[in-house]
């Protein structure tokens, strides 16, 4: 039986609709869970209002940026509009706008469910760890299903209506650019509040983490949602779209040469199967009455991985796809799991690195920082080796199929690694939900037993967040390697149309390539520094505000009844600072890409992308793992080890966690989006760089 590309696109849309229906059922399930504590309801509403206010203001700023970007795209891409191909430019601009809208919706969906699930999870903890875990996990799963369903739907609709892979790159750029700024803005907000609350509350005053006397405590809980839910949702939406876009660009090029639709069909088929596997994995996720939440989350990931491998093997046999490409996808999937396991080892509070950092904290904060940085750097090796082995294995596995298939193998390895992204997002969104639940339990005075349960769930959330971030960074690594292949394809298509020489690779001994390599390698470091300086400046303003309130509000420090801090002042500081700081860092990376392209052309851009990918992956993995390590070392001490709460070791660990916060939640996870953005800018502007560069 012969299948058309329309069949696979429509099937993908059908699976997307199924994921939306499942997300709606999960949403209703979470919403129906009992909650009756008036104090928790009050605080939960404050968190919800703060998150929605920030998201509204952030999206207004980003809408203005997207409007200007869409106009520039219409004028110049894929070729200047005065060349007469204005319909192509209009399609590109509309695709870009659709990408930003889909990415924004991912953030909104995440906020809406997370600010309900946090309340339900806190109150469910009164009945035990199992119902509390299920409320948190299924709350996160709403976002997982909606985001990945949106990814597949968006890509399918763009291909259905335009049949244009360059327009798909425009859609991906829209998703990436909004994700870059949303992740940066949300990360600055959340770490401003987190650092300020910890430094004044825990270190200076010795009060509990979520003590309602602390003026920054609501802003801290709001930040969990706008940074770790909305920001990460947009980030993983972007990674998934980018992996599919890169694969489809290369697949379409191969199909044009062969005169078929096999490779394009395969991309849609595997992506749809991945989403279906995630639906099954989420639906079957369970935890025993006295189970381990970390084990339950990881087991669900392994089940989803096995389902994807089996179903794609069946699809490969049924539709007579190339088995070597299936092998490349499975290599990516398995390496993703290995990267997750490596991240787990360096961040789990039951493992040696966390214990060693906790022990070092007894000697002072300098040793906390030194040991954490050291383990953070060591942790990059397994992941970097995994990405390298995955790329090499996929390349060599698919190389015998024919010219161009080696790079397609790498792109399908990225698709394979991100195939279970529905489960990954579910696990990731679980983290901030249970973190909020822990704060709500403390502010609602639910008792020590409930706090013990929410602490266990929160610790699992931190560990799994480190795993999912490692997974996302690893997938971004393979995706941008595939995007490098897409860049070469776009350049060669333009070169063939212009009758000039195309690209076969990049010689690092070529001074133009090396020029781009050095600048590209420096960009992630500058980008990270700008984001963390934004957190630093903003946190200093908030610390001053907290001091003012404790100084001027009579009875606040003592916790007198009826005396409440001005929570909204801290939310305003975090919001204003985040909006002020979010655009410059992202804009610098885009502008530098354009400058390098117009100076050195496509050869310089090739070097720029290689340098950017390598240094970006290294920094992202280091910061994500070091931050998670410091966070769980602090929690390990707080659970009664190495002196426990209030000890010198605890104060040192809080300092380490304060340094690690912008590492793991602001700069680290934003870097992989930055890499994707510059890769897409390079592909979209490849024709201009080919024809208008200063050095040729």
- CB of 603 within 8 A of CB of 512? yes
The pLDDT value recorded for residue 397 is 95
Within the chain, which residues score under 50 in pLDDT? Answer: 1
Length, in residues, of the chain: 696
SS3 472: helix
Dihedral in degrees, nearest 10, Cα atoms 360, 362, 366, 372: 30
Q: HSE on the CB side for 166, CA within 13 Å?
A: 22
| Residue 41 CB partners (closer than 8 Å, separation 6+) | 35, 119
The total number of structural domains in the chain stands at 1
Alpha carbons 542 and 198: distance in angstroms, whole number:
12
Residue 32, both tokens: 């129906």
Domain membership of residue 631 as a residue range? 5-692
Calculate the CA 506 to chain-centre distance. Answer: 29
pTM, to two decimals: 0.89
The pLDDT value recorded for residue 470 is 65
Query: Which single residue is written with the structure tokens 């002072």?
Result: 364
Alpha carbons 70 and 173: distance in angstroms, whole number:
11
The pLDDT value recorded for residue 469 is 67
């Amino acid at each position: 039986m012969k299948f058309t590309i329309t069949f696979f696109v429509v099937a993908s849309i059908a699976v997307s609709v199924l994921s939306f229906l499942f997300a709606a059922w999960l949403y209703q399930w979470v919403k129906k869970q009992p909650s009756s504590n008036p104090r928790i309801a009050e605080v939960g509403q404050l968190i919800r209002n703060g998150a929605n206010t920030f998201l509204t203001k952030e999206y207004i700023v980003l809408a203005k940026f997207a409007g200007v970007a869409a106009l520039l795209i219409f004028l110049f891409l894929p070729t200047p509009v005065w060349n007469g191909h204005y319909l192509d430019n209009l399609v590109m601009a509309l695709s870009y706008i659709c990408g930003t809208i889909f990415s924004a919706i991912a953030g909104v969906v995440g906020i809406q469910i997370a600010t309900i699930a946090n309340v339900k999870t806190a109150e469910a903890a009164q009945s035990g760890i199992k119902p509390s875990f299920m409320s948190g996990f299924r709350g996160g799963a709403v976002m997982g299903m909606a985001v990945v369903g949106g990814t597949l739907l968006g890509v399918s609709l763009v291909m259905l209506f335009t049949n244009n892979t360059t327009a798909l790159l425009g859609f991906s750029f829209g998703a990436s650019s909004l994700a870059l700024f949303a992740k940066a803005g949300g990360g600055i907000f959340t770490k401003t509040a987190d650092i300020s609350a910890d430094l004044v509350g825990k270190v200076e005053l010795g009060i509990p983490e979520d003590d309602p006397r602390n003026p920054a405590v609501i802003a801290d809980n709001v930040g969990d949602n706008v940074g770790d839910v909305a920001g990460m949702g947009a980030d993983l939406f972007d990674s998934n779209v980018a992996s599919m876009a890169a694969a489809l660009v290369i697949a379409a090029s191969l199909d044009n040469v062969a005169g078929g639709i096999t490779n394009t069909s395969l991309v849609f088929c595997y992506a749809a199967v991945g989403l279906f596997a995630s639906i099954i994995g989420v639906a079957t996720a369970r935890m025993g009455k006295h189970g381990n939440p970390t084990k339950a989350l990881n087991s669900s990931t392994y089940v989803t991985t096995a389902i994807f491998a089996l179903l794609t093997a069946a699809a490969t046999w049924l539709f007579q796809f190339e088995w070597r490409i299936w092998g490349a996808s499975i290599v990516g999937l398995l390496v993703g799991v290995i990267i997750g396991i490596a991240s787990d080892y360096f961040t789990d509070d039951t493992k040696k690195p966390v214990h060693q950092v906790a022990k070092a904290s007894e000697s002072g904060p300098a040793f906390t920082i030194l040991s954490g940085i050291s383990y953070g750097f060591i942790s990059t090796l397994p992941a970097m080796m995994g990405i390298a082995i995955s790329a090499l294995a996929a390349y060599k596995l698919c190389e015998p199929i024919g010219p161009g298939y080696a790079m397609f193998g790498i792109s399908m390895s990225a698709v394979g690694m991100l195939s279970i992204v529905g489960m990954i997002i579910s696990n990731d969104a679980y983290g901030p939900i249970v973190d909020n639940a822990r704060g709500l339990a403390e502010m609602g005075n639910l008792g020590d037993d409930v706090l013990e349960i929410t602490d266990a769930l929160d610790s699992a959330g931190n560990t799994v967040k480190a795993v999912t971030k490692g997974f996302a960074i690893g997938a971004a690594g393979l995706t941008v390697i595939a995007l490098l292949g897409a860049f070469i394809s776009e350049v060669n298509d333009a070169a063939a149309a212009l009758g000039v020489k195309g690209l076969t690779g990049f010689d690092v001994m070529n001074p133009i390539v090396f020029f781009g390599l050095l600048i590209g390698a420096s960009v992630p470091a500058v980008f990270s520094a700008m984001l963390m300086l934004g957190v630093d400046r903003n946190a200093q303003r908030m610390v001053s505000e907290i001091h003012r309130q404790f100084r001027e509000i009579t009875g606040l420090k003592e916790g007198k009844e009826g005396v409440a801090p001005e929570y909204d002042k801290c939310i305003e500081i975090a919001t204003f600072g985040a909006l002020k700081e979010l655009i410059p860092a992202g804009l610098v990376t885009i502008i530098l890409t354009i400058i390098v392209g117009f100076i050195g052309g496509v050869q310089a851009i090739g070097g720029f992308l290689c340098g950017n990918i390598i240094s970006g992956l290294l920094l992202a993995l280091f910061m994500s793992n070091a931050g998670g390590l410091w966070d769980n070392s602090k929690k390990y001490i707080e659970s009664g080890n190495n002196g426990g709460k209030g000890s010198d070791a605890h104060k040192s660990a809080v300092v380490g966690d304060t340094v690690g916060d912008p590492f793991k939640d602001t700069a680290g996870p934003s870097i992989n989006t930055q890499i994707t953005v510059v890769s897409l800018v390079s592909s979209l502007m490849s024709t201009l760089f080919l024809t208008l560069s200063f050095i040729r």
